Amino acid sequence: MLAIGLMSGTSRDGIDAALIDTDGEGVSKGIAFHAMPYTPGFRLRLAEACQRAMAMEKPGFEPLIYAVEEELTELHVEAVTDLLARSGTTAQDVAVIGFHGHTVAHRPERRWTWQIGDGAALAGAFGIPVVGDLRSADVTAGGQGAPLLPVYHRALAHDLPKPVAILNLGGVANITAIGSAGEIIAFDTGMASALIDNWMQTHSDRDFDENGATAATGRIDEARLVEMLSDPWFAMAPPKSIDREAFTIEATRGLSLEDGAATLTAFSAAAVAKGMEHLPERPKHIYVAGGGRHNATLMEMLARYSGAQIRAVDELGWDGDALEAQGFAYMAVRHLKNLPISFPGTTGAPQPMGGGILFDPA
């Protein structure tokens, strides 16, 4: 069936919208992809909503967060409209929309996670069933609620030699490791582009370090890097996940623009290497998806710290920009078929679990 997947990730740069043809089990066929950037003003409001949500004891009404949710939903309607137009597809052709929304706070240690976005409004706008709130059931059952993409990574990597790993570099980094016998271990490794973006936005007139050019001219502050990596979270065995707000750029205060970018880029790469210490089999090849794969300095540091062959997933014929959005379309179809989307080895769920709430336009 045709399914749309929507992703607003921890990088807070915009909405990824993908249209795929899938049965929710085997490999899917990508039909179309559209990335719609957020305006600078909305990015600031979204960041403020995340900070307020993380300061709350549990999800509840907060005027700014509610206003941002309404705006976010309207932007997702716009993104779907654009995707349908670009692909020449009508809403009647689409069976389901997988709507991730945007994570404003992720607190699995408190048994809650909070993704904003009005699934009912999105369903009503197009007359298409929407599957949203994909993480909560897992967290309520004691799982981490993240990462969720491993079920899609497993389908895509079916024919690849094992062991192998797929690394997603968004605002936060997560890895899916598939062992020789097909077993899956997945977890967040730490930050990816989040702190690098924060640094560039705070200390320059740029939103991100394009191609890692700024970091490439800087020097890594090894003492600060060691201190950042000494956080107890990195020693925790998976399954584990982390919120973007768990780390800040405070540790690099006082460094030059270039040295700060280099140190934070090394922090992201070295965290992946530390995460690999938790794997029973070290993969020789790591295939990288997400915006971070466009950062040549980060990719070079990943190879240096991990000792693995680092390749973009595009070399496999996958669309590294569309992968997350495609994954949520895939999960929406699995919801319709009552198939699990999270597993003990990926989120720490007590058993394979389905996820999501169906918003029926009828």
The string of pLDDT tens digits covering residues 77-119 is 999 999 999 999 999 999 999 999 999 999 999 999 999 999 9
Q: How sure is the predictor about 59, in pLDDT bands with cuts at 50, 70 and 90?
A: very high
Domain count, the chain: 2
Same domain, 333 and 249: no
Domain of residue 67: give its range: 2-146+322-359
CB atoms near residue 313 (< 10 Å): 23
Average pLDDT over residues 16-21: 98
Residues of the chain above pLDDT 70, percent: 100
Same domain, 11 and 23: yes
What integer pLDDT is reported at residue 61 of this predicted model?
Answer: 94
**Does the pLDDT of residue 161 top 80, yes or no?**
yes
List, in order, residues 6 or more apart from 299 with CB less than 8 Å away. 212, 288, 293, 310, 312
What integer pLDDT is reported at residue 27 of this predicted model?
Answer: 74
What integer pLDDT is reported at residue 164 of this predicted model?
Answer: 97
CA dist., res. 165 & res. 309, Å (int): 10
CA dist., res. 310 & res. 354, Å (int): 32
Q: Of 20, 10, 14, give the one whose Cα is nearest residue 323.
A: 20
Same domain, 17 and 87: yes
Terminal-to-terminal C-alpha distance of the chain: 20
What integer pLDDT is reported at residue 217 of this predicted model?
Answer: 98
Same domain, 132 and 29: yes
Q: Tell me the pTM.
A: 0.94
Same domain, 90 and 175: no
DSSP structure string for 246-291: GS-GGGGTT--HHHHHHHHHHHHHHHHHHHHTT-SS--SEEEEESG
Same domain, 160 and 29: no
Tell me how many degrees the CA angle 191-197-203 measures, rounded to the nearest 5. 130
Same domain, 131 and 278: no
Residues 266-298 pLDDT 10s: 999 999 999 999 999 999 999 999 999 999 999
Query: For residue 267, how many C-alpha atoms fall within 13 Å in the half-sphere facing its CB?
Result: 30
CB atoms near residue 74 (< 10 Å): 14
Tokens of 159: 């024919």
DSSP secondary structure letter of residue 170: S
CA dist., res. 101 & res. 7, Å (int): 7
What integer pLDDT is reported at residue 28 of this predicted model?
Answer: 84
Same domain, 279 and 326: no
